[in-house]
Structure 1
């Protein structure tokens, strides 16, 4: 199984994620946790709370169209995994986010930057799980 790594695009994307996290903290005093933001769209504390959350989610959803406007082509998303397995993976991630009290953006980007011990443990568990999953899929299952 080949992995395609694009260092410049990854650096640019990561920089934009970091910048957005810093700006959200500076402007709104809020943590940039994607799943918490999405959950707040469906159960907002107030109208103002819903507006900023909806704007962030809309911004995430329009990313491919920004790429299209800049390059003339939509990003190609290719997966050898079936849709039912992708959906199952999404459900498992959703359960993990709920049990872990946050996602990689909240814990990994903002929590670690704030030197949160809880986030450090969460990120260690995320990474160990990811490493184990890749190892099993590539070397045990042989996919």
Structure 2
């Protein structure tokens, strides 16, 4: 088995473990977009410290772990920053429309057999596939 597959498996296990710990510790679903959204729109003032710590850990942990275990890591991300920014904004809008993201609907929702999480996951995977076909194969942007 290729190491990339093993690293993907390890990453998936860590995300699932993080979701379980968050649910057991807080009694809430680990939805990153909802946690960040509560900081941005002010609805999460009561738990702002917890939310900020979660987002900081979400960003810092992969950076630290990749520096320790995979300092030579490369990505195939486009060099066109306009595409990266547009993609980020579209993902943000999509998570607000869907009332959740891949961690909330995909990881936590499917593991709880939530019909809403399963349906949302099916639709955002299909939308992502369609956008890949459109932007890579038809428009040649990425």
With structure 2 as the length reference, what TM-score do the two structures score?
Answer: 0.84
The CA distance in 1 between the partners of 2:124 and 2:117, in whole Å, is 10
Aligned length: 137
Distance 1:88 1:138, change over 3 A: closer
Deviating above 3 A after TM superposition, structure 1's stretches of 4 or more consecutive aligned residues are 74-78
How big is the shift at 1:90? 1.0
CA RMSD for the aligned pairs?
2.2
- Structure-to-structure mapping, 1:32-71, within 5 angstroms: 32-42=30-40, 43=42, 44-46=44-46, 49-62=47-60, 63-68=62-67, 70-71=68-69
Residue 120 (str. 1) matches residue 118 (str. 2):
yes
TM-superposition CA deviations, 1:102-136 (whole Å, max 9, x none): 11110001111121111111111111112212233
How big is the shift at 1:53? 1.3
The CA distance in 2 between the partners of 1:92 and 1:36, in whole Å, is 16
The CA distance in 2 between the partners of 1:35 and 1:76, in whole Å, is 26
Distance 1:136 1:73, change over 3 A: same
Residue 26 (str. 1) matches residue 62 (str. 2):
no
**Match of residue 77 from structure 2:** 79
Of 92, 95, 103, which residue of structure 1 is paired with 2:93? 95
How big is the shift at 1:94? 1.1
Preserved CA contact (<8 Å) 2:78 2:84: no
Structure 2 unaligned regions, length at least 5: none
Preserved CA contact (<8 Å) 1:65 1:74: no
